[in-house]
Structure formats: structure tokens, C-alpha cells
């Protein structure tokens, strides 16, 4: 797998640069380098850097410089982000776009965030986490040795949102805004306990816009605000009214407004789930916030979706029936133009003048860089692909359900796996998917889709599960499975079910309520008991009541564990703070005591994102275990 990231484009539109990531099994890590691409397609892409992990490239507005983040090879543990060394953390670098030696501009203990160029190309703004004195490698013993994480003083927590999966604790390392000159002179613009992120410059270079929590109940709710601050330092101003969860602010080309993404924080500022992340605008001098996109129809593609501002409007990646379109949204709102459409997903883009380049993934590749419809790269060449075939079904109440089947080679009849995505407000889609390819490559027909609760089909489609998640989702999932099993080459007597996070929730639910349909199950990183999830998950304090509407016992799969008789493999990670490991332990104990065939595969040093960003060796071990389980029982 070679995965291209978000491209950056020279101001004349002739040169694009993209980071290309791959798995290094020897080092058991991920490595990435920058590639330079001619947008006229007349030359093959050229590798530009040779660092261990080079990412987030940004070409300067004058076309002379390339800024990027460089991380060195990690030497210690990755768990929890608590390394005491600078190894593995990204630092901001700059080099001539034409090629040459890179210069490091920062030396921050926890690394730097993605940079943003000033309009005059003399400065870079970024956000970086600043450790509290004595934590994260900044503390020393009386002998001058560094104090490791286990030797730090205890944390006193006073806010509900105190930690996040994949990073760790937050308020002893808040994110602050920095500006650096090209000689490496770094100025910190913000301070204090609250975090500040996503900085972007005003067209005149005098201001930065960013997101921060400036209200009294910060981190006890999910609201935040779009703010501005003088780029030379000074007092910040709040532009919005603390009713949204905003992100990605950008000044408009005239500097008069700031456009940003966001979704309503909801009642009490703690009811944000299953809401579209739409596009909004606010005057830079302060004033009324306006919504630019219809909230029912359009939503920002996640994870990793970004926006960009052009003279003609805002570029916005929109989820749509498993695809990710690229829209051009007028600054005054109204119907957007669809610039990129079809059975594929836009993963990143950049524009300069009339030139638009985009990283687009489809059913036969991991992602390639395009100018218009002209493909500029061939990073996925030589990878064998099994076809992703579209599938439509109708639920018993007449509701349409959309999905896909990936079949193995051969005539069949093939055993079948029903695969369920997380979220639930997320979408499977039109792109090459390692899970489906691995299982189909091992001989299974893989059925997967987007039942009610998913994103990409309108907000009402997602909110249909609120307060009754398991029952509503199960109806659509079984309808999709039944539609697939009408094909004569699929064996309905040999079916397994699997999924992670919300998909794990639904796997446990289906095993309990519809176990007669399946031979075996694999439940990964699941929510099984909503009551303890509420108090132990990094997001449980708001997510549980927002989605499950206080009916915790009735909606918890663990409540029905005594009904589960099919063999179940439980997969979880020790450092999972999204769905903490006790969720897996409680299910394992309940099934083991009942006498159900059950095994528990527990990964050290990993968080909730094991299947997507875990150590390469762990990702491979996970696939091996799942395939062995289904080979044994299906």
C-alpha cells in the first residue's frame, strides 16, 4: 500500500507536491516522503525528500519554498504519545522547491502542527502542544536524568473532556499558536490552559483566524468558537456565538469574512452526534453567523476532510452515497457546483488560479493525483484488485439500503462475511478497502453497506437510529445481507459477521438477536455496555446520552449476552480510550461464564485506530487472527 496525501500546488499551477506513505514492516512503523509532480503530466513524478516521515507539504505563495513536517525514526514506545524524546515527533522544516537541503525551523518537545504560509511568504503559522513543566520529558531528577511518564506527579482533572484516544491527556499540554520566520525565530502568540488550533492568515497578513474554547464551560461541553488574533501578537477576538463545534476557519479572499466548517453543539451544548458538519460564514469584524450549505443534504467528508478558499468560492469535500464529491460553494451560499463526482472519493485537493489538483481514491487504487480527469501518478500500479460490485436492497418497511459485495475468485458457492462500519455516522464507500480485499482474497464474499445511522445519505438517514440504534440498524443490515444472498454463488448457510467500534456494537447485537443467521462473529473495539462507556470513554460523557437517549440497558448489547451461542472472537487494544478495554472484558467474562465459545485477542500499545494506523505487525496479526477464526468456524 502506497497512500498519497493532500497535495500542495505552486502559485503558477505547474508543480504539485504530495506526501506518499507506506508501511515499513522491517521497522514496524510508517514512513513517508515528498514527491514532486508536474501538472502537465509530461514528466514522471520525482521523489523530492528522503526523510523518515515527511508530511503536510505547503508551497509558499511566491513559489520559492516548500514547508513540511519531518519526523525522525521512533526509538521508543508509541503508546499514549508519552515519549520523553523528540524522536518520532514532527518538526517544521523548509527547503527550496527546486530541491536542496531542508532546514529545520522548530525544536519543540511535542512537535509542530501543519504549517500555513503568510501571504508574503516570509512567515509560517502553526499550532503546537506545549507541555506543562515537568511532564512529557521536561522533568528531571536531582541527578539530571529525565523523568519518564510513570514518575510524573498525579494529574488533577476538573473538566469532562480531559483526554482523547490516540493522543492522551489534553490540559497538561494545550495547543498554542506560533509564528516562525524563515530564519527559525519562533514567536508564541497564545498561552494558558485552553487550546488553539487550525490557524490561517488574513489576505493582508495582519491576522490569524483559528478555533478555541473561550467560554466558561469549556471542555465541559462540545462547543467552541472561531476567533482572530493579530499575527504580531495581541488580544484575541471571538467571532461566533458558542453554539457550534467549528473547525477549519479560512478568511475569504477579500478578508471581510471567515468561512468554516461546523455542526450544532445541540441542546446544552452536549448533543452533537449524528449532525452534518456543514459550511458557515461570519464577518471578520464580528456579526451574524450564516450557514452556506443545506444542513440536510451536505456534510464534510471525514476523517481528514479540509476546505480551501478560492476567488470563486469554497472548495468542500462532500459525502454522497459512498462517494466523496468536491463542491465549489458560493460565498453567499446557494446551490454549489459539483467539480468532481462519480464512484470515487476525493481525499485531498489544492488550487491555484484555474488549476485544480486532487488526490482521488477509487475502487481499484489506494489514491492517485489528478489534474481534472488526467491522472498524474501511478502509485497503485501492480496491485491485484477484486471487484467492488454495487448492491441495493429494500428493508421490510420499504426503506432503500445501499451497499457493495466484493467476491473472491472462482465460481463458488462462497462463504459470506457481513462487515459493519463504525460511527455509526460514517460511510463505507467507493474506494479500495483493505478489509474487503483481504477477506475476499481469502475466499469470502464480503457484504458491506450503509444502513440507517450512516452518513452520506442525508442527515435524516443518520438520525433515524437515535434512541434505538441496534434494532433500526439490524433491520437494514439483514435486508442487505438477504439481497446479497439471492445470488447463487453465495452460500447462505456459511455466514460470519464482524465489525469494529459501532460495528462491534452491531456485531454483538446481531449475535444476540439474530444468531441463527451466523456461524461465528468477530467483535472489535466495541461499545457493549453503555452505562460504563459513558464514564470511561473519552467521548462517553456526551456521546452516550446524545446517541442512545438514556435507554442504556435496553440498547446495550451486553444486556443480551445470555442469548449469544455462536463462537465469538473479541478483539481490543489495551490503550483504547474511545471504547475502553473494560467493554471487551465485560463481554468476554459474560460469554465465558455462560459457556459460549469465546476468545479474547488483546493488543498491547494500541488505541482505537489499530485496524487503520496500528503497528504494521499488529495489523497483520489482526488479519491473521480474524481469518483463522472464520476458517475454524465458518
Q: What percentage of the chain reaches a pLDDT higher than 70?
A: 98
Q: Are 535 and 582 in contact (CB under 8 A)?
A: no
- What pTM does this model have? 0.95
Classify 589 as helix, strand or coil.
helix
How many angstroms separate the CA atoms of 446 and 387, rounded?
11
How many angstroms separate the CA atoms of 575 and 594, rounded?
27
Using pLDDT thresholds of 50, 70 and 90, give the confidence band for residue 79: very low
pLDDT at 530: 98
pLDDT at 539: 97
Q: Does residue 78 surpass a pLDDT of 60?
A: no
Kindly report, residue by residue over 156-193, the tens digit of the pLDDT. Answer: 999 999 999 999 999 999 999 999 999 999 999 999 99
Question: Which one, of 473, 467, 474, lies nearest residue 554 by Cα?
Answer: 467
What average pLDDT does this structure show over 394-403? 98
The three-state (H, E, C) secondary structure of 33-84, written as one string: EEEEEECCCCCCCEECCCCCEEEEEEECCCCCEEEEEEECCCCCCCHHHCCC
pLDDT at 304: 79
pLDDT at 87: 64
Grid coordinates of 436 = 474487503
Kindly report, residue by residue over 423-463, the tens digit of the pLDDT. Answer: 999 999 999 999 999 999 999 999 999 999 999 999 999 99
Using pLDDT thresholds of 50, 70 and 90, give the confidence band for residue 80: very low
- One DSSP character per residue, 479-521 reads HHHHHHHTSTTEEEEEEEEEEETHHHHHHHHHHHHSGGG-SEE
Using pLDDT thresholds of 50, 70 and 90, give the confidence band for residue 81: very low
What average pLDDT does this structure show over 487-496? 98
Kindly report, residue by residue over 338-394, the tens digit of the pLDDT. Answer: 999 999 999 999 999 999 999 999 999 999 999 999 999 999 988 889 999 999 999
Kindly report, residue by residue over 117-144, the tens digit of the pLDDT. Answer: 999 999 999 999 999 999 998 888 888 8
pLDDT at 326: 98
What average pLDDT does this structure show over 545-554? 95
Grid coordinates of 156 = 488533577
pLDDT at 86: 52
How many angstroms separate the CA atoms of 272 and 294, rounded?
17
Grid coordinates of 17 = 507536491
Q: Does residue 290 surpass a pLDDT of 50?
A: yes
- Please name the residue that has the C-alpha cell 485496524: 611
How many angstroms separate the CA atoms of 634 and 631, rounded?
6
Q: Does residue 76 surpass a pLDDT of 60?
A: no
pLDDT at 82: 42
Pairing of strands 568-573, 598-603: parallel
Kindly report, residue by residue over 504-546, the tens digit of the pLDDT. Answer: 999 999 999 999 999 999 999 999 999 999 999 999 999 999 9
Bigger pLDDT: 84 vs 37? 37
How many angstroms separate the CA atoms of 554 and 250, rounded?
44
- Please name the residue that has the C-alpha cell 477549519: 248
Mean pLDDT of the chain: 95
pLDDT at 77: 46
Q: Quote helix, strand, coil % in the chain, to nearest 5.
A: 20, 35, 45
pLDDT at 630: 98
C-alpha torsion angle, residues 148, 152, 157, 159 (rounded to 10): -40
What average pLDDT does this structure show over 480-509? 98
Q: In the chain, what are the domains?
A: 388-633 (3.40.50.1820)
What are the angstrom distances between the C-alpha of 16 and each of 44, 70, 339, 379, 527? 12, 18, 19, 15, 42
pLDDT at 142: 81
pLDDT at 85: 44
pLDDT at 18: 98
How many angstroms separate the CA atoms of 633 and 558, rounded?
22
Amino acid at each position: 500500500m502506497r497512500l498519497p496525501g493532500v497535495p500542495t500546488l505552486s502559485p503558477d499551477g505547474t508543480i504539485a507536491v504530495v506526501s506518499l506513505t507506506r508501511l515499513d514492516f522491517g521497522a514496524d512503523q510508517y514512513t513517508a516522503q515528498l514527491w514532486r509532480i508536474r501538472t502537465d503530466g509530461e514528466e514522471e513524478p520525482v521523489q523530492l525528500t528522503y526523510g523518515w516521515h515527511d508530511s503536510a507539504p505547503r508551497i509558499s505563495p511566491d513559489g520559492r519554498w516548500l514547508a513540511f513536517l519531518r519526523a525522525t525514526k521512533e526509538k521508543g514506545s508509541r503508546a499514549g504519545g508519552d515519549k520523553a524524546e523528540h524522536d518520532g515527533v514532527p518538526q517544521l522544516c523548509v527547503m527550496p522547491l527546486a530541491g536542496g537541503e531542508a532546514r529545520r525551523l522548530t525544536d519543540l518537545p511535542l512537535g509542530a502542527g501543519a504549517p500555513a504560509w503568510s501571504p508574503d511568504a516570509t512567515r509560517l503559522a502553526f499550532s503546537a502542544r506545549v507541555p506543562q513543566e515537568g511532564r512529557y520529558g521536561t522533568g528531571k531528577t536531582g541527578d539530571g536524568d529525565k523523568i519518564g511518564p510513570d514518575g510524573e506527579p498525579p494529574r488533577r482533572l476538573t473538566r469532562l473532556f480531559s483526554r482523547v484516544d490516540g493522543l492522551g491527556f489534553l490540559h497538561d499540554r494545550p495547543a498554542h499558536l506560533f509564528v516562525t520566520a524563515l530564519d527559525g525565530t519562533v514567536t508564541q502568540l497564545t498561552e494558558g490552559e485552553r487550546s488553539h488550533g487550525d490557524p490561517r492568515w488574513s489576505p493582508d497578513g495582519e491576522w490569524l483566524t483559528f478555533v478555541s474554547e473561550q467560554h466558561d464551560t469549556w471542555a465541559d461541553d462540545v462547543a467552541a468558537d472561531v476567533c482572530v488574533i493579530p499575527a504580531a501578537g495581541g488580544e484575541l477576538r471571538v467571532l461566533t456565538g458558542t453554539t457550534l463545534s467549528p473547525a477549519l476557519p479560512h478568511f475569504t479572499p477579500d478578508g471581510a469574512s471567515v468561512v468554516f466548517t461546523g455542526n450544532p453543539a445541540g441542546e446544552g451544548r452536549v448533543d452533537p452526534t449524528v449532525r452534518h458538519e456543514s459550511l458557515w460564514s461570519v464577518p471578520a469584524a464580528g456579526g451574524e453567523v450564516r450557514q452556506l450549505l443545506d444542513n440536510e443534504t451536505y456534510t464534510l467528508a471525514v476523517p481528514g476532510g479540509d476546505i480551501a478558499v478560492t476567488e470563486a468560492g469554497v472548495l468542500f469535500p462532500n459525502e454522497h452515497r459512498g462517494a466523496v464529491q468536491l463542491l465549489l460553494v458560493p460565498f453567499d451560499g446557494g446551490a454549489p457546483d459539483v467539480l468532481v463526482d462519480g464512484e470515487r472519493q476525493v481525499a485531498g485537493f489544492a488550487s491555484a488560479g484555474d488549476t485544480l489538483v486532487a488526490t482521488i481514491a477509487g475502487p481499484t487504487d489506494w489514491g492517485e493525483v489528478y489534474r481534472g480527469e488526467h491522472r498524474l501518478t501511478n502509485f497503485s500500479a501492480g496491485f491485484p484488485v477484486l471487484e467492488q460490485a454495487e448492491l441495493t436492497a429494500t428493508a421490510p418497511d420499504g426503506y432503500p439500503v445501499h451497499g457493495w459485495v466484493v467476491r473472491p475468485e472462482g465460481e463458488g458457492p462462497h462463504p459470506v462475511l457481513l462487515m459493519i462500519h463504525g460511527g455509526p455516522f460514517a460511510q463505507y464507500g467507493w474506494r479500495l478497502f483493505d478489509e474487503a480485499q483481504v477477506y475476499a482474497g481469502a475466499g469470502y464474499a464480503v457484504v458491506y453497506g450503509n444502513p440507517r445511522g450512516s452518513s452520506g445519505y442525508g442527515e435524516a438517514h443518520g438520525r433515524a437510529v437515535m434512541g434505538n440504534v441496534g434494532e433500526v440498524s439490524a433491520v437494514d443490515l439483514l435486508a442487505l445481507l438477504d439481497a446479497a444472498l439471492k445470488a447463487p454463488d453465495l452460500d447462505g448457510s456459511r455466514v460470519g459477521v464482524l465489525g469494529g467500534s459501532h460495528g462491534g456494537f452491531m456485531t454483538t447485537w446481531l449475535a444476540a438477536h439474530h444468531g441463527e443467521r451466523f456461524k461465528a462473529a468477530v467483535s472489535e473495539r466495541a461499545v457493549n455496555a453503555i452505562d460504563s462507556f459513558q464514564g470511561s470513554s473519552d467521548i462517553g460523557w456526551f456521546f452516550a446520552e446524545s446517541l442512545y437517549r438514556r435507554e442504556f440497558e435496553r440498547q446495550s448489547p451486553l444486556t443480551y449476552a445470555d442469548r449469544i451461542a455462536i463462537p465469538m472472537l473479541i478483539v481490543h487494544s489495551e490503550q483504547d480510550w474511545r471504547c475502553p478495554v473494560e467493554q471487551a472484558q465485560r463481554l468476554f467474562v459474560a460469554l465465558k461464564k455462560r459457556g459460549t465459545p469465546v476468545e479474547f485477542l488483546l493488543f498491547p500499545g494500541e488505541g482505537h485506530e489499530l485496524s487503520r494506523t496500528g503497528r504494521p505487525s499488529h495489523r497483520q496479526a489482526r488479519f491473521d487472527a480474524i481469518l483463522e477464526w472464520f476458517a475454524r468456524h465458518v
